[in-house]
Amino acid sequence: MHPFQSPRGPYMLRDVREETAAATGRTRLPWRELYDAHAAELVGYLWKLTGDREAANDLMQETFVAGMRDEAALRDVAKARAWLYRIATRLAIKRLRRARLIAFLPFAGTERSTEGIPDVEAVAVREAMRAISADQAAALVLHYAHGFTRTEIADLTGRSEETIKARIARGRRAFLVAHDRQGGHS
């Protein structure tokens, strides 16, 4: 028998998920509905956080893949939006930290496309966001761009509300300094 074949036929991930759901008594999450309800919003959030539309789309897809792999972690479907934001935030922060490390390597980012050159203010905002810590950037975008409260952000990130309050305050100050340095208009 082929290693990826079960007695019933070819090995299928769907079969494993259905068997797992049956064994645990859980029904599968409505992934199509979750995607339709939250994908565009997540891309917007991730785009604001990373400043890169392609990276935002990649991270959104990674968010849903990670969610599908660990769907048992979601105990209440009503909290799916916050759970997906938590996954997206974790993945984005990881990518931003890695990108900042890679930026110090020789020749990193030396080729720039001139296609679709954004306006000066948008560039200043993106550069200012890149200048602050990934944790601060995530807190600012979640709070100011997506309307999450400090309590909700604390729940999303697993940090205390006081930590989030400090990240927002420090991040805002650091953003304004970096933005002014970039020549942005407040």
pLDDT in tens, 162-171: 999 999 999 9
Q: Residues 44, 117: contact at Cβ < 8 Å?
A: no
pLDDT band for position 85 (50/70/90)?
A: very high
Average pLDDT over residues 175-183: 85
Q: Residues 83, 74: contact at Cβ < 8 Å?
A: yes
What distance in Å separates the CA atoms of residue 176 and residue 181, rounded to the nearest whole number?
A: 8
- Give the whole-number percent of the chain exceeding pLDDT 90: 38
Task: Enumerate the H helices of the chain as residue ranges.
Answer: 13-24, 31-50, 53-69, 80-102, 120-131, 134-140, 150-157, 161-181
The confidence score (pLDDT) of residue 25 equals: 53
In the chain, the domains with their CATH numbers are 1-111 (1.10.1740), 117-186 (1.10.10.10)
pLDDT tens for 7-43 read 444 444 444 445 545 545 555 788 999 999 999 999 9
pLDDT tens for 88-124 read 999 998 888 776 644 433 433 444 444 555 667 777 7
Q: Residues 146, 153: contact at Cβ < 8 Å?
A: no
